[in-house]
Amino acid sequence: MDLKRIQMKIESLMGLTGHRWKNTPNGLYSINLHRVGDLEKTSGDPNVFSCTEEQLSAHLAFMKTQFDIVSLNEVKEFIAQPSLLSKRRCMTITFDDGYADNYECAFPILKSHNVPAAFFIATGLIGNSVLPWWDKVAYILKHKQLKQVQLKSWKHPVCFKGDMKLFIRHVLKEIKATGMELEQQIQELEEISAFQGLYPTPEFMDWEQLKLMHQQGMTIGAHSHHHYILSALTDEDILFELQHSKHLLEKHLGINVNAFSYPVGNQSTYNDGVIEALKSSGYELAFNFRPGVNFHIDKKRYDLHRFPIEPNMTPDDFKQMVSYAKVY
């Protein structure tokens, strides 16, 4: 257990978490979600589910009492004039990928609470019949009931220990960590598992649903085209991922797209070269997927932090996560 976790545990036992929460600093807080619904019913990756519909409604009700919920347009105002943020504790609500349940489940709940959100879309998944790579991995592992997996580039196997959700998460972690081409690794997994079946139909929004959400106050941003790990790509491929996704969103929706979220979003998945490509492609801000409070927002606008919403997270869980977060 690292020192931070020890500190959190000790202070929690001493009842000090509430004091920390009351003294959280002003700044921009952002939460990130992916899928909304019942993770037990999916044929794909259960790890991309953030919460149920009931939990989302409860999260929004809680956030509204604790933060000023703002749109990405207001975030751009803070970037232009950082002093606007110095006396406010604001929050942006974001969703990644573009799953259909964002429209079918999350969108009506957001409207019922009268709060804006931003949806970052991997455009290669919109109107496409191809399942994304992480859902392919999950489907194979569930379908073939493998006891362990080891691809050629891995040093150690990943073993099934009774928890399929955790097994899928660990296999995906190894795939992301290799830096090798994702489709090549999926093909190798298909071969070693003798998978020859058909994948299920992907569950993503279509262009009309995205257009309707934008028309009713939601912001649409880009999440690349293929959802590849950008730092593993050539400079040419990085520019394609950034510019093609922006082009498609602007073409189909008739909007100006200037916000981005990094696929996967941990520190190893983007770098200075990716940020320079974002700037040259006309993006004005970008979000990672690392917890933290955004304060120096003008200087860090291509590296904005987000807190994850996890299944069964309670307000106390959220308070503890935020209370011990770094300020950037």
**111 and 92 in a common domain:** yes
**157 and 97 in a common domain:** no
SS3 71: coil
pLDDT at 9: 63
Residue 251 is assigned to a structural domain of this protein: yes
pLDDT string in tens for the chain (328-residue length): 566 665 556 566 556 667 788 889 999 999 999 999 999 999 999 999 999 999 999 999 999 999 999 999 999 999 999 999 989 999 999 999 999 999 999 999 999 999 999 999 999 999 888 899 999 999 999 999 899 999 999 999 999 999 999 999 999 999 988 878 888 999 999 999 999 889 999 999 999 999 999 999 999 999 999 999 999 999 999 999 999 999 999 999 999 999 999 999 999 999 999 999 999 999 999 999 999 999 999 999 999 999 999 999 999 999 999 999 999 9
Query: 216 Cβ partners below 8 Å, 6+ apart?
Result: 107, 111
Containing structural domain, residue 278: 27-129+208-323
Residue 6 is assigned to a structural domain of this protein: no
Residue with tokens 């804006």: 116
Residue 170 is assigned to a structural domain of this protein: yes
Helices (H) and strands (E) in the chain, counts: 13, 12
Contact 225, 244 (CB under 8 A): yes
pLDDT at 113: 98
**175 and 46 in a common domain:** no
What are the φ and ψ backbone dihedral angles of 294, each rounded to 5 degrees? -90, 115
Helices (H), the chain: 3-13, 17-22, 53-66, 72-80, 100-101, 107-113, 133-144, 164-178, 182-192, 207-215, 235-253, 272-280, 315-323
Residue 7 is assigned to a structural domain of this protein: no
Give the span between the Cα atoms of 240 and 225, in whole angstroms.
8
Give which of 1, 30, 70, 13 is closest to 322, Cα–Cα: 30
Contact 32, 94 (CB under 8 A): yes
pLDDT at 75: 96
Q: Which amino acid is at 310?
A: E
**89 and 64 in a common domain:** yes
Residue 203 is assigned to a structural domain of this protein: no
Total domains in the fold of the chain: 2
pLDDT at 128: 83
Residue 198 is assigned to a structural domain of this protein: no
pLDDT at 129: 84
Give which of 227, 236, 219 is closest to 285, Cα–Cα: 219
Residue 22 is assigned to a structural domain of this protein: no
Give the span between the Cα atoms of 25 and 84, in whole angstroms.
14
